[in-house]
């Protein structure tokens, strides 16, 4: 987390606020954030809930509800942003679209050396220890593909207008356990009428590989995603606002 905040602090542009959505980490994260907040040029808000399994959607919604800006950029806690990450996302933002940046991958056995300063991203890239190398370079001009495909919907590098997040009611908190919560959000944004800008050569992130999360609920999440797509859903009921199906009728 400290490395991510450090890169954001040294970036060419800064967000108006950084919201850390913490899915039940230990106290070390809070201490690191308190230390970083003294050096950051912008406010950091820490949103935390108890560790009761993979509940990414729930804590992201809490953070989104607290966002005061018009545009929300999502960055995972295992992704180092390029120095122009924020500036690129703001340049790509356009009404009627959400922006999907790409990612390259730093080998798991190189992550500690990178974070401890014993190597650099440039050195790892030159030595072939970063995969998806073509997605690691900031190009003179971005390559933008506008589509409404389900392929490549990722929450780790995503820019969405706050009004659009409100319109689809944010992330569906019925998704628990790893997988498909980001795809479900993207599907509902498509159903709302938006298209995706898939961007290459801008808004770069460097994914720090790590052991995979358990995927024991993936088949259930796959079924939920298929239902969202087949029904053309735009809103979830268990999202930013909890929408009960129950009703109250006055008998007077």
Q: Report residue 127 as tokens.
A: 């030595």
Is the pLDDT score of 227 beyond 50? yes
pLDDT 10s digits, 65-87: 999 999 999 999 999 999 999 99
Residue 2's DSSP bridge partners are none
Is the pLDDT score of 225 beyond 90? yes
Least confident range of 130-134, 179-183, 241-245: 241-245
Which CATH superfamily, name and number, covers 71-231? Spore Coat Polysaccharide Biosynthesis Protein SpsA; Chain A (3.90.550.10)
Per-residue model confidence (pLDDT) at position 244: 60
Per-residue model confidence (pLDDT) at position 246: 41
Per-residue model confidence (pLDDT) at position 248: 36
Helix pair angle (181-192, 218-231), 10° resolution: 0
Q: Which of 64, 95, 83 is nearest to 181 (CA)?
A: 64
Per-residue model confidence (pLDDT) at position 104: 95
Residue 48's DSSP bridge partners are 22
- CA distance linking residue 20 with residue 44, whole number of Å: 7
Q: Is 30 exposed, middle or buried (0-12, 13-18, 19+ CB in 10 A)?
A: middle
- Section 94-121 average pLDDT: 96
Residue 227, classed as helix, strand or coil, is helix
CB crowding 164-186: b at 16 or more within 10 Å, else e: bbebbbbbbbbbbbbbbbbbbbb
Is the pLDDT score of 179 beyond 70? yes
Per-residue model confidence (pLDDT) at position 39: 84
Alpha-carbon torsion 166, 169, 175, 180, what sign? negative
Is the pLDDT score of 5 beyond 70? yes
Domain boundaries, the chain: 71-231
- Section 135-148 average pLDDT: 95
- CA distance linking residue 107 with residue 52, whole number of Å: 29
Q: How would residue 178 be classed by pLDDT, with cut points 50, 70 and 90?
A: confident
- Section 57-64 average pLDDT: 96
Q: How would residue 245 be classed by pLDDT, with cut points 50, 70 and 90?
A: very low
Per-residue model confidence (pLDDT) at position 250: 36
- CA distance linking residue 153 with residue 182, whole number of Å: 7
From the CB of residue 71, how many other CB atoms can be counted at a distance below 10 Å? 19
Per-residue model confidence (pLDDT) at position 211: 81
Q: How would residue 49 be classed by pLDDT, with cut points 50, 70 and 90?
A: very high
């Amino acid at each position: 987390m400290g490395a991510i905040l450090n890169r954001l602090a040294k970036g060419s542009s800064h967000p108006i606020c950084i919201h850390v959505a913490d899915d039940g980490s230990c106290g070390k994260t809070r201490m690191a954030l308190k230390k970083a907040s003294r050096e950051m040029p912008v406010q950091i808000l820490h949103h935390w809930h108890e560790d009761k399994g993979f509940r990414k959607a729930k804590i992201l919604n809490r953070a989104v509800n607290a966002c005061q800006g018009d545009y929300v950029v999502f960055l995972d806690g295992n992704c180092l942003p390029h120095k122009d990450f924020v500036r690129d996302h703001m340049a790509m933002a356009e009404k009627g679209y959400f922006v999907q940046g790409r990612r390259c991958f730093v080998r798991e056995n190189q992550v500690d050396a990178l974070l401890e300063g014993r190597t650099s991203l440039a050195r790892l890239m030159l030595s072939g220890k970063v995969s998806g190398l073509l997605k690691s370079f900031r190009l003179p001009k971005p390559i933008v593909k506008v589509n409404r495909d389900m392929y490549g919907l990722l929450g780790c590098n995503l820019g969405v207008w706050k009004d659009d997040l409100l319109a689809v009611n944010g992330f569906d908190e019925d998704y628990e356990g790893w997988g498909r919560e980001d795809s479900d959000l993207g599907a509902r944004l498509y159903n709302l009428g938006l298209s995706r800008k898939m961007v290459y050569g801008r808004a770069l992130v460097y994914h720090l590989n790590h052991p995979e999360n358990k995927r024991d609920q993936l088949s259930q999440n796959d079924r939920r995603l298929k239902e969202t797509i087949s029904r053309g859903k735009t809103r979830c009921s268990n999202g930013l606002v909890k929408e009960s199906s129950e009703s109250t009728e006055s008998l007077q």
